Amino acid sequence: MTTFVTIMNGKFNYYWLLILIPVGFIVWFLTSKKEEAPVNYLAYFGPKNYQNASDTVYHLVPDFEFTDQDGKKVNKERIKAKIYVTEYFFTTCQSICPVMNDHLVTVYKEFKDQPDLLLLSHTVDPETDSVHVLKDYANAHGVNDGRWLFVTGDKKQLYHLARKGYLLSVDEGDGGEEDFVHTQNFALVDKESHIRGFYDGTDSLEIVRLKQDIRKLLKEYEYKSKHLN
């Protein structure tokens, strides 16, 4: 009787083994396929040049140089390894700017542990928004590190970049004394200086979409790092 029970237990364990092996393989296969699946790439925005049937040159944000709230130079070389969200504002604005930057505070806090993300806010009133004024403004928004830069500089360069670089304003102008840019739009820029999204900075639902797109873009770089290098 003991021998019979031993034999039956052995068969029972054998049958379970036959079941578990293929189940384990299926789980491994599905998991590995999920990890290998291509990510959902964000679109590229702006004018494109087609050199040939298979080579598309996407719009690039041009070079620039401004000064941040700590008196440090900000240019493409400094932020070249960053994904960034950019906007235009001014510190004395009492209409759309407070709403826009309250929304950016939520982005700043939500991605506090993400070193590849940067926020870049340009003043449209460089005569008023000096380095000292921008520093006070940054402190008032709880910004005490290099993850959110508030920049000032030459007005003509600031305005040209808003219109022709970030494509945030369709109004024409020369950056002169009477010229003024006032836009609620944000742009999401990738590490290669391509624009990958536009968002209404006053709309909370648009901010949700912005955060989703930031995650998609981070995932895109993660995938490229693992599989395309």
One domain for residues 104 and 170: yes
Question: Domain for residue 43, yes or no?
Answer: no
pLDDT above 70 for 78? yes
More reliable by pLDDT, 178 or 52 = 178
3 state DSSP class of 150:
strand
Claim to verify: residue 31 and residue 134 sit in the same structural domain: no
- Residue 139 and residue 75 share a domain: yes
Residue 71 is part of a domain; what is its CATH number?
3.40.30.10
Count of structural domains, the chain: 2
Same domain? For 60 and 33 the reply is: no
Contact 123, 151 (CB under 8 A): yes
Kindly state whether residues 162 and 92 are assigned to the same domain: yes
Bridge partner list, 163 = none
Query: Is residue 84 classed exposed, middle or buried when 0-12, 13-18 and 19+ CB atoms within 10 A define those classes?
Result: buried
What's the mean pLDDT in 188-198? 98
Say yes or no to pLDDT of 178 above 60: yes
Selected residue with higher pLDDT from 174 and 127:
127
pLDDT at 19 over 90: no
Asked whether residue 72 falls in the same domain as residue 147, the answer is: yes
Q: 121-165, pLDDT tens digit by residue?
A: 999 999 999 999 999 999 999 999 999 999 999 999 999 999 999
Domain identity same for 15 and 125:
no
Confidence of residue 40 (pLDDT cuts 50, 70, 90): confident
Q: In this structure, is residue 46 part of a structural domain? A: no
**Matching residue, tokens 């993850």:** 147
pLDDT of residue 22: 54
124 and 159 both lie in a single domain: yes
Residue 21, in any domain of the structure: yes
In a domain, 44, yes or no: no
More reliable by pLDDT, 204 or 53: 204
Do residues 100 and 149 both lie within one domain? yes
Q: Which domain holds residue 2?
A: 1-37
Q: Is the pLDDT of residue 55 over 90?
A: no
Whole-model pTM: value is 0.82
d(CA 21, CA 14): 11
DSSP for 84-112, written as a single string: EEEEEE-TT--SHHHHHHHHHHHHHHHTT
- In which band, very low, low, confident or very high, does the pLDDT at 50 lie, cut at 50, 70 and 90? confident
Question: Beta strands of the chain (E only): which ranges?
Answer: 49-52, 55-57, 65-67, 73-75, 83-89, 117-123, 148-151, 185-189, 195-200
Residue 45 lies in a domain: no
Residue 117 has phi, psi (to 5 degrees) of -110, 140
Phi, psi of 48 (to 5 degrees): -120, 150
Is 228 a residue whose pLDDT tops 90? no
> Is 92 within a domain?
yes
Beta bridge partners of 83: 117
Higher-confidence residue: 109 or 11?
Answer: 109
Give the helix/strand (H/E) hosting 5. Answer: helix 2-36
Mean pLDDT, the chain, whole residue set: 86
Query: CB atoms < 10 A from the CB of 88, how many?
Result: 26
Separation CA 167–CA 115 (nearest Å): 26
